[in-house]
Structure 1
Amino acid sequence: MLRYILFAFSGIVSFNSICTAQELRAVNRMAVSGAVIHLNEAPGAGVAWIKDKQFDKGTIEFDIKGKNVLQQSFVGFAFHGVNDSTYDAIYFRPFNFQVPEAGRRSHSVQYISLPSYDWQLLREKYPGKYENEIDSSTDPNKWFHVKIVVTDDEASAYVNGKRCLTVALLGTQKTGMVGYWVGNGSSGDWKNLKIY
């Protein structure tokens, strides 16, 4: 049993080392890689794919930071990427975390499956099903911890240990690339990525 525990621990350390020394391929962004991954602000959505990483199901964890600026902070993570325009993503709108209006707070976390299911279509056809609010004590200008759990047909998101969204996956792809994602006009920062 001890041998198994040591082997498992060794594997986790090794994988985390790979995550901190990752090579990125940025799309519509400049990416700075190091202990903190940074994507700059630019028009349109952007993603920095992690080279040579494929993901089908499991858990993705990271710390993330956006900013409390209306319509200028969409930060998250993409998975099941087939190419630069076909992928699933879960992202956050920090500028909605602590607003008094319940309607805006309910747009704090969002699932999308591109190209067919962008946020506008999902909000119009399925209001409240693919987005939700998060714990309003989450500071929109500070780091917060995210865990995304993906199964064969579902994805759940947790912020600082509290589940905030569970959705049925809409994309037909079940495996693919993973990467750091930002929305239109947004920059973002990530650290401590773990995928298992």
Structure 2
Amino acid sequence: MMIEEFGPRVANVWNHLRTTTRNLVENAWQSAGSGSAPQVPRSAPYDPRADQELSQLLAALDDHAQQTEILAGREGAREARRLADACANVLSQQTQSAEVFAQLIVRAHQRNNYAQVDALAELLPERLAPSELCELARANHVIVRALAHEALTQLPTSLLAAVLRDPVDAMIARQALERQATEFGSEDAQRILREAIEGFEEHFD
């Protein structure tokens, strides 16, 4: 794999990758070439720096592929897209970053890869803390916002109740609780909402 073929921006990002991150990408690239799915070791601790590095590489590769496709057609961008897809696959297996999830969801949606959008949506409540889901619920992209709100609705009611005490995220948590109460008939959610209203009224009495 001659990384210089993908342009100076990709080469610059690649040259600043740590060896461990570079190995992840190379293994994913080789797995994609052999037709097998790349696997990130589940025993490995989460590495937020690797997320950042891979996210930057993915953005550079996608940009290069887009520019190449404009100039040389889809076939000319094939290898860049294949490496970008391998990078995205690694991220989807390991990321615990709201920002990276947003990047992956937008990318999949732009490519009309709705199966991948659904797969990422299923991972949101497993990988992200409630505060990070609330962050996504304020995202600019409408699909990201919708999926984050859906993931919040799936959280245990007790977790949402704790988020109600956060002045930044309280409104979003309240919306999720209201959905649990009305759409799913959750008595716990109804009780927590009543208590929140009563506490608010007492505060201003």
Normalising by structure 1, report the TM-score.
0.27
Decide which structure has the larger Cα Rg and report it: 2
TM-score normalised per structure 2:
0.26
Larger fraction in helix: 2
